[in-house]
Chains A and B, each alone.
Chain A
Amino acid sequence: MPPLPPVPRFLRRLLTVLAAALLLLLLPAAAREASSASAEITVRVLLPAPFHDATTRELPQFHRDHPGVNLELVRGPLDTDAIQDLAIGSLLLGDTPFDIMMMDVSWMPLFTAAGWLSPLEPYLGAGMLAAMEPGARPGNSFDGHLWRMPYSGDTGLLFWRTDLMPLPPRTTDELVRISRDLQRSGRVRWGYLWQGRQYEGLSCVMLEVIHAFGGRWWNPASGRTELDRPSALQAARWLEDLVKEGITPPSVAGFAENEALQQFAAGEAAFLRNWPYAWKVIENGGGPVVGHVGVAPVVVAPGQEAGGTLGTWGFSLLRGSAHPREAAEAIRWLTGPEMQRSLALNEGYAPTWTALYEDEALQKGAPLLAVQRQALAAGPLLRPPTPLYAQLSDVMQRQANAMITGQSDAVSAMSAAQARSDALIRAMTGTPR
């Protein structure tokens, strides 16, 4: 048998490098193994980037109060639609790496129907929502179970320029009149900015405006939409006219929250529709309108009741969690009064706990509190609470965006939205024609 040829030098080097790389890869895993041996339980939470950053600030307090539990906040994408896709993707795997998921109020019916959540009342008790503002309670319980604890009580609000007018408008007519006067006198380029891009934010605007004209998107009794009713048509026409008459720029068709906020912060408009966080962003941004921004409930047609879209986020316990008790305790802390006090002071989010609204020290640090409570008391609007909401919203976004871009008009957009919603509900529930 001939002797084996010597291993070439480059091959030996390559093998050394590979071995070193393998060792480096294995080391962290071994370290993790060692730390879990010290009986520490890890609870993983998936949450959108801005909430992740706001919550992380308070995290050391949790770890002081809860020895033995390691709360790991996982930073997801910023965009609501993107994080929903991520959440659904991880849940469809069957074995999700998360224990807790931060949930938008509009996802709740779908996620509970899919059977992905565990009820919270066995761990937290049945009366958790009782100490909250009545307007902050909807969207958390279905079928007698508590599926989510709200992190904030945010609703859609109207931001207005205190340097351009003494008082904010209350009605749609007043908003149009003030905008027109200011634009004519050249004091401001645009009147009213909102979200018109084909995405979930446009559905929030539509829900608000339809309600502002006395209509409703969804009839819970019949399980159908009511988008071809006169009030919904009037609402759509109002938005259509805002763009046609130049009170709202045509580029609103591409605006999400941030685009609208930036243009308002640059001093280019008299009014902005957005969520509470916008106020802190504008005030901290150092733009020309700092110190001149007021906040009010959204406008409604004369004689109608005010109401903004409920845009709250909250935490739900996932069914696959290996540590439901510890995770539920983490949810209690994540949504508790101390967390919400910090969020109100630092981010301007609306609290849900009634006690916080009555706290005088907090009122001084969070000037939006009074109007936020007013908006919650006005009966904030829930997006259609059906597992089919994602489809219904998709239909609405396409049709409303077609109207805003001038591809269609208010009447045909709303009748098409109604017809498509009907067809969809028929196809999904098997209701005969």
Chain B
Amino acid sequence: MIPLLAVDLLLMLPALLLLGVVFLLPLLRDAWLSLHASTVVTGLMAVPNGAANWWRLFDDARFRQDAFQTVRFTGVSVALELVLGLGLALLLHRPGRGRALLRALVLLPWALPTTVMALGWRWILNDPHGPLNGLLQAVGLPTFGFLTTPSTTWLAVVVADVWKTTPFVALLLLAGLQSIPVDLVEALQLEGAGRLTILRRLTLPLLAPWIALALLFRIAQSLGVFDLIQVLTGGGPAGSTESLAMYAYRQSLRFLDFGYGATVLMATFLLLLLPGVIWLLLQNRLPRRTA
């Protein structure tokens, strides 16, 4: 008879192998490459250079700027998406006529390919010929360089991202709302609880794991943001919207500096690990539902 542990391991083997090939191997390769010089100067060969790439990273003001910009983008856009997504989910959860149509409509921005919608926003925000500046001019205001003002262009990127991804958050939270038993709500109503009380005492606590899940998905995705910014601003103006993923991409694929590109990617990965760890810690502290 085969011991139970061996059966467990055997059953997990295919999944572990897959994870190893698509996740662990590239990660190890990236870590290895970050300790090498691999550029056109070295003939695209990997030559060991100790920790030179990492020293360069600690000295790299652009990396720090991009890290700050990426975290700022993530914090603001995910917070907005959560608040708006929750509101939208509560709205869509209410019974009423046309709910199916409304749900389909809300999902539309999310279904659009990112590059297409980023190009759309680029036209909308064009200075001076975009429709938004057309509106400003129509009411007698001067045009505004939405995509050419380094201090505020990141907000335009946030708006585009919130517009596109709020439906995703709303959908997740809607699924959570539908998993809350109706009799619990009715019981509270019988005891005379108002809407706000129900939301605060029942809905939100039961929704917490779903909120955590939405946050995890969104934070991980936002920290790696690339396509939206690449198309909308190309990282400009004056580099004020460049994200870490774009920086790593440029180092490797535009500049052919694979060693340093790997280092930037590795550092980004470590940064990404942080919210994951925090989530795991938080999850252990959440009240566990007994099955």
Contact = CB atoms under 8 A, between A and B. Distances in A.
Contact of A88 (B238, B256, B257, B260): B256
B237 A251 contact: no
A92 B237 CA distance: 29
Interface stretch (B17-25, B39-47, B91-99): B39-47
B256 A110 contact: yes
Contact of A114 (B40, B145, B238, B254): B40
Interface stretch (B146-154, B203-211, B212-220): B146-154
Given A250-B145, A391-B255, A113 B40 contact: yes
Nearest to A197: B236
Interface string B33-76: 00001011101100000001000100100000000000000000
A249 B128 CA distance: 10
B150 A114 contact: no
A115 B44 contact: yes
A407 interface: yes
Interface stretch (A50-58, A162-170, A273-281, A394-402): A394-402
A89 interface: yes
A390 interface: yes
Contacts of A92: 253
Contacts of B236: 197-199, 397-398, 401
A16 B237 CA distance: 55
Nearest to A423: B59
Q: Most chain-B Cβ atoms within 10 A of its Cβ — which of A85, A115, A249, A253? A: A253
A427 interface: yes
A145 to B, nearest CB: 16
A429 interface: yes
A249 B143 CA distance: 11
A401 B238 contact: yes
B186 to A, nearest CB: 42
A394 B149 CA distance: 19
Interface string A30-64: 00000000000000000000000000000000000
A324 interface: no
A428 B257 contact: yes
B253 A250 contact: no
B253 A88 contact: yes
B238 A251 contact: no
A267 interface: no
B235 A405 contact: no
Contact of A405 (B43, B238, B257): B238
Interface in A109-143: 110, 113-115
Contact of A110 (B37, B40, B237): B40
A110 B148 CA distance: 30
A199 B254 CA distance: 13
B41 A428 contact: yes
Interface residues of A, number: 36
A85 B246 CA distance: 13
B254 A251 contact: no
B50 to A, nearest CB: 12
A390 B40 CA distance: 12
A182 to B, nearest CB: 20
A254 interface: yes
A114 B127 contact: no
A387 interface: yes
Contacts of B127: 251, 254
Interface in A380-433: 387-388, 390-391, 394, 397-399, 401-402, 405, 407-408, 423, 427-430
A115 B40 CA distance: 9
A405 B253 CA distance: 28
Given A427-B56, A428-B41, A428-B257, A251 B145 contact: yes
A62 B126 CA distance: 42
Given A405-B150, A429-B41, A254 B145 contact: yes
A253 B253 contact: no
B154 to A, nearest CB: 13
Q: Most chain-A Cβ atoms within 10 A of its Cβ — which of B41, B127, B235, B238? A: B238
Contacts of B150: 402, 405, 407
A39 to B, nearest CB: 36
A260 to B, nearest CB: 12
A405 B40 contact: no
A84 interface: yes
A253 B40 contact: no
Interface in B231-270: 234-240, 250, 253-257, 260
Interface in A56-107: 81, 84-85, 88-89, 92
B238 A428 contact: no
Interface string A251-272: 1011000000000000000000
Given A88-B256, A89-B253, A198 B143 contact: no
A387 B239 contact: no
Contacts of B56: 427
Contacts of A251: 127-128, 143, 145, 148
Contacts of B253: 85, 88-89, 92
Nearest to A255: B148
Given A405-B150, A427-B56, A254 B40 contact: no
B250 A394 contact: yes
6 contacts: A88-B256, A115-B43, A197-B237, A198-B235, A198-B236, A251-B127
Q: Return the 3 tightest CB-CB contacts between A and B, nearest first.
A: A198-B236, A402-B238, A253-B148
Given A197-B237, A428-B39, 19 more contacts: A81-B254, A85-B254, A89-B253, A92-B253, A115-B43, A115-B44, A198-B234, A250-B148, A251-B128, A251-B143, A254-B127, A254-B145, A254-B148, A387-B40, A390-B256, A394-B250, A401-B239, A402-B150, A430-B37
Interface of A: 81, 84-85, 88-89, 92, 110, 113-115, 197-199, 249-251, 253-254, 387-388, 390-391, 394, 397-399, 401-402, 405, 407-408, 423, 427-430
